[in-house]
Structure 1
Amino acid sequence: MSEPTTNKTITSLSRRKFLTVGTGLIGGLFLGKACWYEPRSFVVEKVQLSIAKIPPGPGLRIVHLSDFHLRSLPNHFAEAATTINELRPDLILLTGDYLDQARKLEGALEFVSLLRSEGGIFAVQGNWEYWSRLEGEPLRRKLAKAGAELLINERRDLLIRGIPLSILGIDYPSASQGLEKIRQAATSNRLNVVLSHVPAFGHDRLSPVADLILSGHTHGGQVRLPFIHPFYLPRFSAPFVSGLYRVTANNIPLYVNRGMGTSVLPVRFFCQPEIALLQLHSPAAGEVPW
């Protein structure tokens, strides 16, 4: 009579052990995905945009990067630089948050120095540059040595593949003043690409002149579950999370980059870091420009 009881006990213990071990393994897999795999697994997001001011021809290839949050240069960022250069961008545009702490900019500068672009590298500041008290002219000089130009409510005119364009950089803490300066600086006969660290600002004030707006800041939510709105977004983000949006009555394309690094916690979950390749081309016959 005792033998069946013993077998039931063994079976019960085996099932309990199986569930415990299985739960631990699943938890470990998710933890490894969030802490190790995803933060190191860059995705190249290729976005096609038809812009009325782009003439027929090959168009423009713009790489948009954001939110490095680097203290040193890890191997996966060095590998990402190789990937970016292999895309052969006409321009590389950076939208802020290159570091986490003051005096820890070396990793970001080393990363930027590895990047190559025919038309140059242009950048704006983010909130972490200000919180770390490394902003303005000191940051401008450091980025210049690494091969990038910092724009502080400024405009730079370029001619790439015969296309006249302007890069317009809105500074992070003075968005209102920056918007007015940028609006006055822009000219309608050029392709105007606006850089702003934060995506939520007065887009309408740029409506007459902007052809494309690039932003970061949100990290795409950084930690997410599929089909669910992010648990947290920083200020000046909502309703924008990541990807391509239309803003203003003119349907200006706004692209929000998920960023390359992590902030606060070194994890990403269902939100891989991003290298955005924006391919701008002339609208086809009958096509409505994006």
Structure 2
Amino acid sequence: MTHPIARAVTALAAFGGACFGWGLIEAHLYTVRRVEVEALEPGSDPVRVLHISDLHLSAHQTRKLDFVRALTRLKPDLVINTGDNISSAAAIAPLLEAMSPLRGVPGVFVFGSNDYHAPVFKSPLRYLIHGRSHSGRPKPADLPWESLRDGFAALGWVDLTERRATLNVAGTRIAFRGTDDAHHGRDDYSQVAGPADPDAGLNVGVTHAPYLKLLDAMTGDGMDLIFAGHTHGGQVCVPGYGALITNCDIDPARVKGLSTHDSGGRRSHLHVSGGLGTSPFAPYRFANRPEVTLLTLWPRPA
């Protein structure tokens, strides 16, 4: 008769293998999350915002490219891209082709570290122990991020890397400010800091990684809505509980989706995208499907 401990170990190994196998499948179950939030001035027309983040695209990922190509069917009024689009230089051309149906839709973007540098292997234990990844050797290879930036600009989208911009979207004047990636210390909020635009119908902050220092600064300056990505929604979650880690200093309860942030006596709506991809070195998700989000912004009650 098999020893009870051996049976338990065998059962645990089988369960773990099944979970890992499902995680590999779930990483390709691309989903559109739909969210509504009252953020506009009373009497405004609704604004449909497509939030795209963390594709981590490899050129061979044709199913992901097909999903991105079909996003035009959502008929967004605005596209917000919060970075980590690619995993290699070869992914830039197919990504831009897949996004080309969105050409002419107003858009803004910032980059994450994986737009600048190719991914490198990092032990998953670092995430479990530290709650976030840490840079180290080997040094990642540079990516031709300028080509990606120029390609997005050719779609008509505005680079918000330490910049402000104003767009008229579906009848609403929206004032944006953005930063570079805080996860690798590239951000400099001082370049865009200052009071919200009083003439705008909506003030929006955009960044890749939702570090508290940026959420505090943007909220304190009066941003109505903040967009970020980076977290992958925790990537591997516990059913019925949620994320265990966030890969930054935001709390796990706000690792993805819509929440609020308070700072300086003010409150902002915060939307963190769970993202569409994974690192090629960790190509799995669990209880956390890859996603883009279509946010419908409605006027606040009069």
Structure 1-normalised TM-score?
0.79
1:135 to 1:250, Cα distance in 2 relative to 1, 3 A: farther
3-state SS of 1:40 partner = coil
Contact 1:192 1:209 in 2 (8 A): yes
3-state SS of 1:199 partner = coil
CA distance in 2, matches of 1:199, 1:165: 21
Matched, 1:202 2:219: no
Contact 2:196 2:222 in 1 (8 A): yes
Matched, 1:123 2:109: yes
3-state SS of 1:76 partner = helix
Structure 2 gap ranges (5+) = 3-7, 119-141
The residue number in structure 2 matching 1:267 is: 284
Structure 1 gap ranges (5+) = 1-11, 14-18, 286-290
- Report % sequence identity: 30
Contact 1:89 1:117 in 2 (8 A): no
Decide which of 241, 244, 249 is 2:255's aligned counterpart.
241
CA distance in 1, matches of 2:298, 2:104: 18
Letter in 2 for 1:268: R
3-state SS of 2:237 partner = coil
1:275 to 1:284, Cα distance in 2 relative to 1, 3 A: same
Matched, 1:183 2:193: yes
Decide which of 219, 228, 252 is 2:268's aligned counterpart.
252
Cα root mean square deviation, aligned: 3.0
* 1:150-194 alpha-carbon deviations (Å, 9 max, x no partner): 3211122111232111232211155652x2222248522211111
The residue number in structure 1 matching 2:161 is: 152
The residue number in structure 1 matching 2:29 is: 41
The residue number in structure 2 matching 1:84 is: 71
Letter in 2 for 1:49: V
1:116 to 1:84, Cα distance in 2 relative to 1, 3 A: farther
Letter in 2 for 1:180: S
CA distance in 2, matches of 1:274, 1:262: 11
Contact 1:73 1:110 in 2 (8 A): no
The residue number in structure 2 matching 1:284 is: 301
Aligned residues: 266
The residue number in structure 2 matching 1:4 is: none
Structure 1 residue 216: deviation in Å?
0.4
The residue number in structure 2 matching 1:226 is: 239
3-state SS of 2:149 partner = helix
Contact 1:71 1:108 in 2 (8 A): no
Structure 1 residue 144: deviation in Å?
2.6
Letter in 1 for 2:238: L
Contact 1:218 1:237 in 2 (8 A): no
3-state SS of 2:192 partner = helix
Structure 1 residue 55: deviation in Å?
3.8
3-state SS of 1:193 partner = strand
Contact 1:90 1:117 in 2 (8 A): no
The residue number in structure 1 matching 2:139 is: none
Decide which of 213, 216, 230 is 2:226's aligned counterpart.
213
3-state SS of 1:202 partner = helix
3-state SS of 2:289 partner = coil
Decide which of 97, 102, 113 is 2:100's aligned counterpart.
113
| Pairs within 5 Å for 1:26-65 | 29-36=18-25, 38-51=26-39, 53-65=40-52
3-state SS of 2:294 partner = strand
The residue number in structure 1 matching 2:131 is: none
Structure 1 residue 149: deviation in Å?
3.4
Letter in 2 for 1:274: E
Contact 1:84 1:275 in 2 (8 A): no
Structure 1 residue 210: deviation in Å?
0.8
* 1:203-242 alpha-carbon deviations (Å, 9 max, x no partner): 2322233111000000011112113453443235445411
Structure 1 residue 22: deviation in Å?
9.1
* 1:119-167 alpha-carbon deviations (Å, 9 max, x no partner): x222101011233333664442233345543321112211123211123
Structure 1 residue 71: deviation in Å?
1.6
Matched, 1:98 2:85: yes
CA distance in 2, matches of 1:231, 1:147: 38
CA distance in 1, matches of 2:198, 2:238: 42
